[in-house]
Amino acid sequence: MARSAPYPALRFTDWQVWPGSYKNPPADGTFRFPPATGLHITPTTPIASMGSCFAREIRKVLLDEGYNYITEETDNPASVHASAAWERTYNTFSMRQIFEYTFEEWAPDLRWWISPETNKVQDPYRRIMLYDSLDQAESDFSRHKEYSRRALERAGILILTFGLTEIWEDTVDGSVICLPSGPYPKEGGDMGRYRFRVSRYNENLENLERIHAIMAKHIPDCKLMVTVSPVHLWATFRQDLDVISASCNSKSTLRAVVDEFTMRHDNVFYFPSFEMATIYQPILGKSWLSHGKENFHVNKRTVRFIMDHFFSLYGKDSN
C-alpha cells in the first residue's frame, strides 16, 4: 500500500523550522533570524520612533543604552512616548496625520474641543493635550510642528509600532481622533459627529503607503522599521467581540499589513517583537505579560529580551 511522506524532503535552516520539531533544536532563548537584514544600526545612528505604548519601551532602552535616540520637546510630557510630543499613536491613521501636518497640509474641519464646564481647550488628535485658551493651543501646535519636522528630518532610522485597528472617525471630513477621552467627552461635549468603526486591511496599507510617499519626498534617506506592538487592547469599543478576540483581530490585521508593506519597499524592515513576546516566550515556558492592573502590557524581562535581540540583529553585535 502506498504511503505519504510525513514531511518535505528539503533542507531547512533552524530559523525556518518550528523550534523543537522533529530534529530541529528546541528553543534555547535565542530567537533565530534569517542571516541578512540589510540594515545596520550603530550607537551613532540617529533613531526616531513613534507609535503605541510599546514605542515608549523602545525609546527608554535606546536611551539607557546610549544610542543616538532623537528627543525633541523634552519639556513636554507627551514626548516621553516618542521622539517628539506626538503622544501615543495607536493606529496608522493617527500616524499618517502626523506626517501630513508635519510636511504638508492638514486642516481638520473641527480642530479643537472646548470642554463645556471648564472651558479647557483639548487637542482631539494628541492624547491628551490641554490648554487654557485657543491662542495657547494654536501657538503650541505651531511650535510642535517645527519640532516634529526637526525630529523626522534628523532620523536615519524611524521605528513605527502599530497597536490597533479600532478608530474614532469624524463623519464630516474623515479625520481620526486619538480616543474619546479627557475633559471634553467627560463634561458632555458633543461626540455626535464621530463614529466608531474597525478599520480594515486595505485602508491601513494605504495609510502606510501614504507615509512612505511623504518620507520619500521629504526625508528620502531615512529607513523605516515597522513592528506590531505586543501590548494587547486594554478594552474594546466593539459590541460584537470580546476584548481578547478584538485584540487578536487588530494584531492579525496589522501583521498582515506590515508584511505586504515590507515586501513592497527595499528601505522598510520588519522586526518581530510581537512574535518574540506572544509566541516565543510561551515556547520557553515564560510569561510575557505584566502583573497587576496593567496586565495587558509586556513585562520588563520580555522588553529586555526583545531589545537584546534588536541589538544583536541590527546593532553593535551584528555583522
CA 249 to CA 34: how far, in whole Å?
Answer: 27
The whole model's pTM is what? 0.93
* Cell 530567537 -> residue: 31
Separation of alpha carbons 50 and 59, rounded Å: 9
Which string of b and e fits 46-76 if b means at least 16 CB within 10 Å? bbbbbbbbbbbbbbebbeeeebbbbebbeeb
Segments of the chain scoring below 50 in pLDDT: 317-319
Q: Distance between CA 286 and CA 280 in Å, rounded?
A: 9
Q: Which H helix or E strand runs over 160? A: strand 157-162
What are the percentages of helix, strand and coil residues in the chain, rounded to 5? 40, 15, 45
DSSP 78: G
Q: Which grid coordinates belong to 94? A: 493617527
Give the side-chain half-sphere CA count within 13 A for 157. Answer: 23
Residues 6+ apart with CB under 8 A from 284: 27, 29
pLDDT at 1: 65
The pLDDT assigned to 319 comes to 42
Q: According to CATH, what is the number of the domain 41-106+152-166+201-314?
A: 3.40.50.1110
Query: Contact, 51 vs 118, CB < 8 A?
Result: no
Q: Exposed, middle or buried: residue 22 (CB in 10 Å: 0-12, 13-18, 19+)?
A: exposed
Per-residue cell: 136: 495657547
So where are the chain's domains? 41-106+152-166+201-314
Q: Would you tell me how many other CB atoms lie within 10 Å of the CB of residue 299?
A: 17
Q: Residue 141: which of 266, 272, 133, 166 has the closest Cα? A: 133
Q: What is the pLDDT of residues 29-61, one digit of tens each?
A: 999 998 877 899 999 999 999 998 888 999 999
